[in-house]
Structure 1
């Protein structure tokens, strides 16, 4: 038993407890002008910190927010581009390395890459589970439902 747990809930990702690290997908240009990225930008800010990291597609730009990390998975070059499964896999793997190094055991995410970016959630979910299956990580995926009650 690896200790990996996975669950999906309906609700607002930003209602998750503060001991959960969070992740979402961004472009290397860090515009964050659409979709859930706007909420991440508004809530966590620190755009300069992210820009200074100069992360390329396939990497992860990281912010520290009190006790948790906010992972910005860089899955494409420009905000109007589209990610590939390969780049998403690479970004997720980079995030996993950081999580292991910093003993992060709780992660919350939206259906990454599947909103405006148009990837298939079934494929992404399979990839996410495969990457983290051997780790003691509690992973919660938030399915956004407008107006949903907090979990």
Structure 2
């Protein structure tokens, strides 16, 4: 079983060789404009365009909590848009993070990553705008990804943001 590697840096710029999947959590409203997605959009327009289209056409596809959309951005780099957040902010129902959806998305992601022979790179998913706790998210990553032998690197941004 692999372990999660923690590094300081930007998950949108993984510096390892080989096939890579950059995984992050999106909300179920199709919104894109705060947090880690800004780093992705600075590098590639495709993940945002694909996510917005996926949401817009949701009546005819699998868009919803727990779904994953893989978007190829370079020959051996994909971005995984994982729907793991309810709404856009705190409300009467509590924090927006949905651990069950993240778990479902990670399980789906694992099969795709193994098929591509890729490593996974991510910020501390579910812990930024989704207001989640890493102590709840980390075991999901361990079970679904590293437990299947997938190399996972988690990036902590130098300025404290994700």
Q: What is the TM-score with the length of structure 1 in the denominator? A: 0.83
Could you tell me how far 1:27 is from its partner in structure 2?
1.2
The structure whose RCO (Cα within 8 Å, separation 6+) is larger is: 1
SS of the equivalent of 1:98 reads helix
Say whether residues 1:112 and 2:139 are aligned partners. Answer: no
Aligned to 1:86: 100
Aligned to 2:23: 23
**CA distance in 2 between partners of 1:65 and 1:129 (Å):** 26
Aligned to 2:159: 146
Could you tell me how far 1:121 is from its partner in structure 2?
0.6
Give aligned pairs, total. 144
**CA distance in 2 between partners of 1:142 and 1:126 (Å):** 16
Aligned to 2:42: 42
Say whether residues 1:76 and 2:77 are aligned partners. Answer: no
Could you tell me how far 1:32 is from its partner in structure 2?
1.5
Q: What is the TM-score with the length of structure 2 in the denominator? A: 0.78
- Deviation by residue 1:32-67 (Cα, 9 ceiling, x = unmatched): 111112222332222333344442111111100221
Unaligned runs of 5+ in 1: none
Say whether residues 1:96 and 2:105 are aligned partners. Answer: no
CA contact (8 A) 2:4 2:146 kept: no
CA contact (8 A) 2:85 2:130 kept: no
Unaligned runs of 5+ in 2: 91-95
**CA distance in 1 between partners of 2:21 and 2:146 (Å):** 18
RMSD across aligned C-alpha pairs, in angstroms? 2.1
Q: Say which is worse superposed, 13-22 or 133-142, in terms of deviation.
A: 13-22
